[in-house]
Structure 1
């Protein structure tokens, strides 16, 4: 069969009749849910949950021992989204210098006992002080958007590039100074072990580990979290470039984990009516079905995250037949469900809003209803809307409901498809 080079399908913007439905929050990984699995599947999940609980207990105990009843130092401030101070685009010599070592020292100091890092922390500041929290505690919107106590949130996470950026930066510094930086190597190895320990038996990763509960336990494709873990482990497994120093045994384990990660991505691709479609932002830890996250993020098909997963699969040098089929199916679905004749207006008296405009587009809504492929939208009340203009002004300003992101991936797909046609 020839590669599918499809023209853009123009869809009319739906007539937005509001049908408000409150969606169900994501379910965490629990003993009760594991007990409901077939008996043959329960052991690895029980071992995983016990490991998570053990590591969280150890993390908390280590911090309590440092404080030993003394007042806790002020926590680091919440930094830029994605963190800062860890550039990966400097000349190679820079990573062997004093400035890079200061960043690496900060990274080592804030590593949790379990081996991960918190998110949105700038690493070009002073090292962590004894008794200081491992993560920023002034997380914006924490009370609304997280599951669990706000004073123990994201203590080890892959959200917003966390842990991934720290490990890539440490590897760059280690590669620039062979034979030096023993503490950097030790922190790097612990960080890789952390990612290996955090991988679910089905090959996915939670957003936060040790497990934090709620939607944080879901397999998280949002913001390319799982995709970045897979590619980091793949690079470590190759033992080239910045990762040439990695021990062969650890590299083998990283490579095997990356393979299991790709398998989880393929297993999570949603089928509707027997047809492969795309992915959600996050998928249930046990069923791998799309699940909800924050109060304004319903269980849905997600254009933005699916574009990222297609890009991940297209970067595999020698894709399996299953990968090839997944990419063709996902790209075809995204192209079929682009929306033309509308524009997302960011300014104006009514705030960001969608307008009809002849000839405009294509655009993709962030979320589609799984069964009907209708664009849907959420708000902090957990009610699903079909008209983005009825979403609160705060959420229309603070979330990306419509975008053009899939267009670049589809352009890449057109080139990729010529080299990887369907059989």
Structure 2
């Protein structure tokens, strides 16, 4: 961070420097700022008053709002948690509040937070769907049932889903609302503390988490703390119906990375060492889970003998590039937070494996066969093949997976050091930087405003997409925050 000086007096010309800089950048039109604020208000009012169900949201709506979808079609009384569902919309409301100070947006976020506190499960997290119909709600076993004295789920659903940042996104959102309210809303604070405690309870003795947690803490006797290893043999066909892969040690769909980040956020916001300890224990698992040579990377999931294992029928035991990238990113983040070098030690060998495993097209395969390192695919006939032909649709069997950015980050870390990276991360932007940011996104802001209809909707091909709403709200909020601060200085 730069040195700050107390300035007692400034010449008149100097006082005009920030605004003069704005004009020199070709920016500084207050009418657009007012238009952006108006568009933000209209968009959030529409979503909150016409789209929401008890403060909850799904992914997609028909333009007439008569049909609703998450990952599958939802009823008129359901919300969806998995991003870009309910917590993601709530975070957009919070960003609007932070950018404007308008309490209406904080009220919207609190309303969404209560949709989550009302549907928090006894196991501490959330299912993909959250239900508000009085009779249909009885299919789930809630935290509030436990608080009312119930102990037996009696067949009710009680799976806290960690897949796809489901429970984690809800907890991070609730934490941000709790902090914005300074802990004054006891129900939200209780949901946060309960959820974090159950998240730690679900952690296996070696530091891993399952894909979903049913509220029964793992027995250490069944989970020895051992390093990853290659299986002596593995089946090339899926185990079939009844295979409970969601109980395995899971990296798939960023389970480990998003849980560790949630705990690090909790530690940053509340300062409780137990959250940092659990996050670091998760890092210890990632160190254990790095496969030995010749493939010092990570699998999507491991069985309790720490061998790569099947998940769904198109997710075989293999080295997984996307999950390996997330593991490296998470280990670097743990090093930045703690300064502990052991989280960096696995990184060079993993980066070397990425170099050796890059495909001729510049991308990486999602899966690499154990030991041979041959790219591995699954076709529509559920067969393992070595060429990307006739593949199952809707799954990323190849991609960039953010791997190039990892090389850049690690090189910068080596060159500049941890303290400089942290200082840059925490540095507040200058008025000139804020003005430049506003100028850069101004064309996008104009496009967003122009594409909004009279009701405050962004409709695309007869559908209203929550992802578009979130993206546009965040862009408007970013512009308003940058422009307002630049004009104030």
Question: Displacement of 1:215 after TM fit?
Answer: 0.9
Q: Which runs of 5+ in 2 are unaligned?
A: 1-74, 141-154, 217-241, 419-489
The match for 1:325 among 300, 325, 345 is: 345
Question: Displacement of 1:82 after TM fit?
Answer: 4.8
What's the counterpart of residue 176 of structure 1? 180
Question: 1:102-141 counterparts in 2 under 5 A?
Answer: 102-119=111-128, 127=132, 129=134, 131-132=136-137
Question: 1:124-273 counterparts in 2 under 5 A?
Answer: 127=132, 129=134, 131-132=136-137, 155-210=159-214, 214-238=244-268, 243-244=269-270, 251-273=272-294
Please say if residues 112 and 134 of structure 1, whose CA atoms lie closer than 8 Å, have aligned partners that are also in contact: no
Q: In the aligned structure 2, how far is the partner of 1:325 from the partner of 1:179? A: 39
What's the counterpart of residue 396 of structure 2? 400
In the alignment, structure 1 residue 288 sits paired with structure 2 residue 309 = no
The 3 A distance-change label for structure 1 pair 179 and 229 is closer
Q: In the aligned structure 2, how far is the partner of 1:152 from the partner of 1:390? A: 40
Please say if residues 82 and 165 of structure 2, whose CA atoms lie closer than 8 Å, have aligned partners that are also in contact: no
Question: Displacement of 1:257 after TM fit?
Answer: 1.0
The count of corresponding residues between Structure 1 and Structure 2 is 294
Q: Report SS of the residue matched to 1:168.
A: helix
Q: In the aligned structure 2, how far is the partner of 1:152 from the partner of 1:399? A: 31
In the alignment, structure 1 residue 97 sits paired with structure 2 residue 106 = yes
Please say if residues 318 and 368 of structure 2, whose CA atoms lie closer than 8 Å, have aligned partners that are also in contact: yes
Question: Displacement of 1:74 after TM fit?
Answer: 8.2
What's the counterpart of residue 383 of structure 1? 383
Q: Report SS of the residue matched to 1:110.
A: coil
Q: Report SS of the residue matched to 1:387.
A: coil
In the alignment, structure 1 residue 366 sits paired with structure 2 residue 387 = no
Q: In the aligned structure 1, how far is the partner of 2:378 from the partner of 2:244? A: 18
Please say if residues 298 and 382 of structure 1, whose CA atoms lie closer than 8 Å, have aligned partners that are also in contact: no
Q: In proportion to residue count, which structure has more helix?
A: 2
Per-residue deviation, residues 275-323 of structure 1 (Å, max 9, x unmatched): x611011122x22222111001101001111111111112221553432
The match for 1:304 among 300, 318, 322 is: 322
Q: Which one has the largest radius of gyration?
A: 2
Please say if residues 335 and 410 of structure 1, whose CA atoms lie closer than 8 Å, have aligned partners that are also in contact: no
Question: Displacement of 1:196 after TM fit?
Answer: 0.9
TM-score of the aligned structures, taking structure 1 as reference length: 0.63
Per-residue deviation, residues 17-60 of structure 1 (Å, max 9, x unmatched): xxxxxxxxxxxxxxxxxxxxxxxxxxxxxxxxxxxxxxxxxxxx
The 3 A distance-change label for structure 1 pair 133 and 157 is farther
Question: Displacement of 1:414 after TM fit?
Answer: 2.5
The match for 1:338 among 354, 358, 371 is: 358
RMSD (CA atoms): 2.9
Q: In the aligned structure 2, how far is the partner of 1:291 from the partner of 1:94? A: 50
Question: Displacement of 1:133 after TM fit?
Answer: 5.5
Please say if residues 134 and 155 of structure 1, whose CA atoms lie closer than 8 Å, have aligned partners that are also in contact: no
Q: Report SS of the residue matched to 1:272.
A: coil
Please say if residues 82 and 161 of structure 1, whose CA atoms lie closer than 8 Å, have aligned partners that are also in contact: no
The 3 A distance-change label for structure 1 pair 77 and 172 is closer
The 3 A distance-change label for structure 1 pair 208 and 381 is farther
Q: In the aligned structure 2, how far is the partner of 1:159 from the partner of 1:292? A: 16
